[in-house]
Each structure stands twice: as structure tokens, then as C-alpha cells.
């Protein structure tokens, strides 16, 4: 662990970004044939594929509840997505992230509209370079939209971190490893409400407030990209339909 500086004297990070700059993010919608909805995201070097099935009959049946649909999420990392091969069996980390991802997306879904059904969100991390949970949440809301599931809003997510005593936006692996705090959040941007917040590290109350504001700003940028992708996707579909 050499003592490499993660932030240069002129305030640039190892990949040349400013402190409040996000990495290049590219969403793609409708990438799978079988899934009812799907999306793919490249978020810096992070690459994730999300497929959504549902609303569909609960399986096993005892999962069904009479007044709403059950949302299920599985966050899973491919063995080849990280430096050291990861066993394909779900780790404790993956099980926890599956839970918080589900709880970040569920508030956006009109679950009462589909009693006795399930909506299943499956995310595969093909390459991990930080912010995989945020990228998963952001891509999954596009996949949910692609599946035609009525939503209150998209969910947009990003992480902020404290690196060398500065609050920075959207950390990648190397920054994360040597950072002293990490805070992913997810919001429904047009509602200004939080659906996910986690944190570990050390932040004073002032740092926390600053970090939170920076994260919100980042989420708005993600939101913009999500909407642009959605719009051009549905435009394409519409054009396609007109050509029929």
C-alpha cells in the first residue's frame, strides 16, 4: 500500500476528474429478449446488467399477499467481475445489498396495483469498479420502466465519499479502498425523498451535510441521464411502430 496521493494539488483525482464530477455513465434499455424489462449500464468501468420479470404469479405461491405485489431483488457479482475470482455463491455482502436495493426501489413502485403477484429484479455485476449498488439501483429503475411497471418516479443513486479529507462524488475502487468514509444514497428526484442511505467511515455533522448535498446533486445528474435514455428509447420504439 504505497502512499499515492488520490487527489492532486490542483484538486484533480487519479482519473482526472474534479471532486464533484461523476464518471461517464451510459445506460441502455431493452437489451434482453426474455426479461419483461431490462437495462445495461456502464458506469466508469463498472458494468451491470439488470433484468426484471413481473408482475407475475408468485412462485412459490405462499409468497403472495392479498393487497399488493411482492418486490424481490437479487444483486449478484460474476466471479470474473473482480480482481480475485469470487465464488458464485451469494456472499453476506450480496445478501445485504439485495435487501437495501429492493428497499430503495420498492417505494417507487405502485405495489398496490398488482395484488398477489411478484416483481423480480435480477442484477448481474459483470465488472465492479465501485458504486455497484448505485449503478444497479439506477439501471433497475430503467428496467422497471421498460417492463411497463407504473412508478411514482425513477430512482437515481450515487455515492459520495471522504478521500484525503475532501468530500468527493462517485468514487471508484481505488479511491474507495483508501477513502475514510463512503455514503451511497438513492432518491426519487422529482419527489425529493430518500429511498436509500448507508454510510460508514467518519464524518462530522458538517461534513455529512455537505456530503449529502453533493450526493443529491450527483443523483440529479444521474436522473438526467436516465431520462434522456428513456426518452430516446421510447422515441425509437415509437418510430419503429410508425414504420410498421
Partner 1 sequence: MSNIVPSIKKRHIMALAESGKRIDGRGLTDMRKLEIRTNVLDKAEGSATVKLGDTYVIAGIKFEIGDPFPDIPNEGVISVNAEFLPLASPTFESGPPDERAIELARIVDRAFRGAKMINTQRLCIIPGKKVWIVWVDIFILDHCGNLIDASALASLCALMTTKMPRTEVIENEVKVLNEYVPLPISNLPITITLAKIGDKLFVDPSLDEEEVMDCRISVAFVEKNGQEHICAMQKGGPGILTPEELMRAVEIAKVKSQELRKIVLSGGE
d(CA 104, CA 170): 18
Q: Cβ distance 78 to 126 under 8 Å?
A: yes
- When binding is defined by CB under 8 A, the residue of 4, 204, 240, 244 that contacts partner 1 is 204
x-or-dash string of contact with partner 1, 124-143, rule CB under 8 A: x-xxxx--------------
Pick the stretch among 4-12, 34-42, 164-172, 233-241 that binds partner 1 (CB under 8 A): 34-42
**Residues 162-181 interacting with partner 1 (rule: CB under 8 A):** 181
Element (H, E) at 211: helix 205-243
d(CA 92, CA 229): 33
CA 71 to chain CA mean position, Å: 16
**195 near partner 1 (CB under 8 A):** yes
CB closer to partner 1, 22 vs 125: 125
CB closer to partner 1, 23 vs 102: 102
- Minimum Å gap between C-beta 10 and partner 1 is 27
Reading the block at residue 152, the C-alpha cell is 411514482
Strand partners, 7: 13
CB closer to partner 1, 185 vs 230: 185
Q: Cβ distance 30 to 232 under 8 Å?
A: no
The sign of the dihedral angle between the CA atoms of 65, 196, 221, 41 is negative
CB closer to partner 1, 122 vs 233: 122
DSSP secondary structure letter of residue 113 = G
- When binding is defined by CB under 8 A, the residue of 13, 17, 76, 225 that contacts partner 1 is 76
- When binding is defined by CB under 8 A, the residue of 67, 165, 239, 242 that contacts partner 1 is 67
Residue bearing cell 451535510: 209
Closest to 151 in 3D by CA, of 109, 180, 193: 109
- The residue ranges that bind partner 1 (CB under 8 A) are 1, 32-35, 38, 45, 47, 49-51, 53, 56, 65-67, 71, 74, 76, 78-85, 88-89, 92-93, 95-96, 98-100, 102-103, 106-107, 120, 122-124, 126-129, 181, 183, 188, 191-205, 208-209, 212, 216
Amino acid at each position: 500500500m504505497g502512499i499515492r496521493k488520490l487527489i492532486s494539488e490542483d484538486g484533480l483525482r487519479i482519473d482526472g476528474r474534479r471532486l464533484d464530477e461523476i464518471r461517464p455513465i451510459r445506460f441502455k434499455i431493452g437489451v434482453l429478449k426474455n426479461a419483461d424489462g431490462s437495462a445495461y449500464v456502464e458506469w466508469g468501468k463498472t458494468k451491470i446488467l439488470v433484468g426484471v420479470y413481473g408482475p407475475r404469479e408468485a412462485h412459490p405461491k405462499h409468497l403472495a399477499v392479498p393487497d399488493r405485489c411482492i418486490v424481490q431483488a437479487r444483486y449478484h457479482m460474476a466471479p470474473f467481475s473482480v480482481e480475485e475470482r469470487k465464488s458464485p455463491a451469494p456472499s453476506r455482502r450480496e445478501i445485504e445489498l439485495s435487501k437495501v436495493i429492493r428497499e430503495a426501489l420498492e417505494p417507487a413502485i405502485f405495489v398496490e396495483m398488482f395484488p398477489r403477484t411478484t416483481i423480480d429484479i435480477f442484477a448481474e455485476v459483470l465488472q465492479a469498479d465501485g458504486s455497484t449498488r448505485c449503478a444497479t439501483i439506477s439501471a433497475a429503475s430503467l428496467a422497471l420502466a421498460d417492463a411497463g411497471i407504473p412508478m411514482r418516479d425513477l430512482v437515481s443513486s450515487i455515492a459520495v465519499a471522504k478521500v484525503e479529507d475532501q468530500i468527493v462524488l462517485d468514487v471508484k475502487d481505488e479511491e474507495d479502498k483508501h477513502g475514510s468514509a463512503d455514503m451511497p444514497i438513492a432518491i426519487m428526484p422529482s419527489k425529493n425523498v430518500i429511498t436509500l442511505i448507508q454510510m460508514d467511515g467518519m464524518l462530522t455533522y458538517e461534513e455529512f451535510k455537505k456530503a449529502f448535498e453533493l450526493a443529491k446533486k450527483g443523483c440529479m445528474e444521474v436522473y438526467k441521464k436516465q431520462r434522456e435514455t428513456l426518452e430516446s428509447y421510447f422515441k425509437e420504439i415509437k418510430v419503429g411502430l410508425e414504420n410498421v
